[in-house]
Structure 1
């Protein structure tokens, strides 16, 4: 009965139209003086019969579709069954199938995003156990507290926390983004100063060669985070003391090119194309045991959102070069 009620609601306009049509016929015969009443009755009866026949035939053709939309499906397959017989309902079913595919893609993207956050949080919490354990051991020592070691572990935790926060914010990146002309040298100097204790602890030294007049269109906060990731990796994977991290910039016709080059162990060729994938640590990450595999992934994501091009080049034993291309007018 639910399908019949839905059908009547859907076709109530036709019923009203036929009533008006019958009234119109009666008016015509009334104006004609009702000279032939039998013909008038015959016309009305034929009109009603044809209308009822049309409505019944129309219902039979659409019955399966009406039953489907008035019955609650138990599974998605029930809802996606194709049993329409009219062009209108066929198009409606096609629309529902396309809509379901879009829904599936959005659900999969949401699931991947949530899974990435959960996996990253699990890795980060696990890695934070190391600096916490070191701090606990330092506090248990009866001798004088080694402030330098404490500061190193605190800095490690701060860098990890910053990565977690940036990973959480990247989903609402557009709301937090502010593009403006920024001094590239000032940006680099600030990033280097924030990591000065890391340079000192590893006895690796920065070498900045950037013109003070170079201005780039970017978001200073997000860009500083990217540069910080490059610096952290450059220092962390430079195991020999006395090496340098070179930070320079070049001006071309189409771009301002930022180059951050280290003299570290380099990235194996087999890993180079995968270093920007989420959670990929590679051979180097397994050597230190500290990599989350998210730093370069976030750097690539942020560069894409800011409209910058990131190029990674490396050679084992000679170091790695990170290049960021900024468009300029």
Structure 2
């Protein structure tokens, strides 16, 4: 609160005092009161009024400064009316009552929104689990009746499976801590499992796979990392170039195990690169006929942050893309030298 702004708010009271003083001067002059007595009276009046306005400014400023300090310290700002001291002035009591009523209404709306969101999330998760059954059944039918048509159908079913997994993991990504199990896993085994899961997709697009020096083990959640690898592989397939290939290798640097996934696809343009982890961002490649949603890398980034894993992407347009996953290395992580 600034003194100039405070005086502006007190302008009606100041004008009232000035008019009252003028009326007093006129009245006292009319009854033949000496001028020096009127002057002393006006001076005392002015000092009392000015002192009151100034002292009130000091207390109001301190009161609001304490409120702002309490607000700054709160993680949940909307709880300010619950922690602030009960006001003394009637005007402040009315504002406090209005604030509590607004806060109560807001809390009720938030609770209702959370309940509806939870119900919708549970429905989506249940629907995804239900739809996976016919997808698995169709895959089994295709495996038992192999032909060019069923192989193509298998590749499309893998895409459908990826999209359903994407929806499921998106629904669960806010609460990863409720659905993860950290254990020692082999990067080589996770890579081969991801490649096997995308087998038909890779075969249909004639993509070769290279796995080099990936015998390291790390501590992480195998299921969530598997989803991240699937997303990266799906992107590499979607944006593949001539004589396409995907490679995997592991390096150890700066106290971390780094899993590198690279391809020789169309790459990412320099202006798009800083924004690839933004939700819904498809970039130049996504606007050239590719069925991009802008969700895959956003989910990868979010899951990596939840799992304490770093992720970085290096790419040049027309020169392929390289994705790096950084696993923390400590006494509990064994690295094959």
**Coarse TM-score class (shorter-chain normalised):** 0.5 to 0.7
Corresponding residue for residue 201 of structure 1: 204
Runs of 4+ in 1 over 6 A off after TM superposition: none
Corresponding residue for residue 217 of structure 1: 219
Shift of 1:83: 10
Shift of 1:281: 1.1
**TM superposition score normalised by structure 1:** 0.58
1:168 and 2:177 correspond: no
Deviations 1:14-72 (A, max 9, x none): xxxxxxxxxxxxxxxxxxxxxxxxxxxxxxxxxxxxxxxxxxxxxxxxxxxxxxxxxxx
User: 1:184 pairs with 164, 182, 187, which one?
Assistant: 187
Corresponding residue for residue 138 of structure 1: none
Corresponding residue for residue 263 of structure 1: 264
Specify whether residues 182 and 86 from structure 1 end up closer, same or farther in structure 2 by C-alpha distance, changes over 3 A only. Answer: farther
Alpha-carbon separation, structure 2, partners of 1:216 and 1:283: 35
User: 2:152 pairs with 143, 149, 152, which one?
Assistant: 149
Corresponding residue for residue 328 of structure 2: 327
Contact 1:184 1:210 in 2 (8 A): no
Alpha-carbon separation, structure 2, partners of 1:245 and 1:186: 16
Q: Give the unaligned 5+ runs of structure 1.
A: 1-75, 122-134, 136-143
Q: Give the unaligned 5+ runs of structure 2.
A: 1-77, 125-137, 139-146, 331-337
Shift of 1:257: 0.5
Alpha-carbon separation, structure 2, partners of 1:232 and 1:297: 14
SS at match of 2:281: coil
**How large is the Cα RMSD of the aligned pairs?**
3.8
User: 1:234 pairs with 228, 233, 236, which one?
Assistant: 236
Alpha-carbon separation, structure 1, partners of 2:209 and 2:289: 22
Specify whether residues 284 and 178 from structure 1 end up closer, same or farther in structure 2 by C-alpha distance, changes over 3 A only. Answer: same
Corresponding residue for residue 255 of structure 2: 254
Shift of 1:151: 1.9
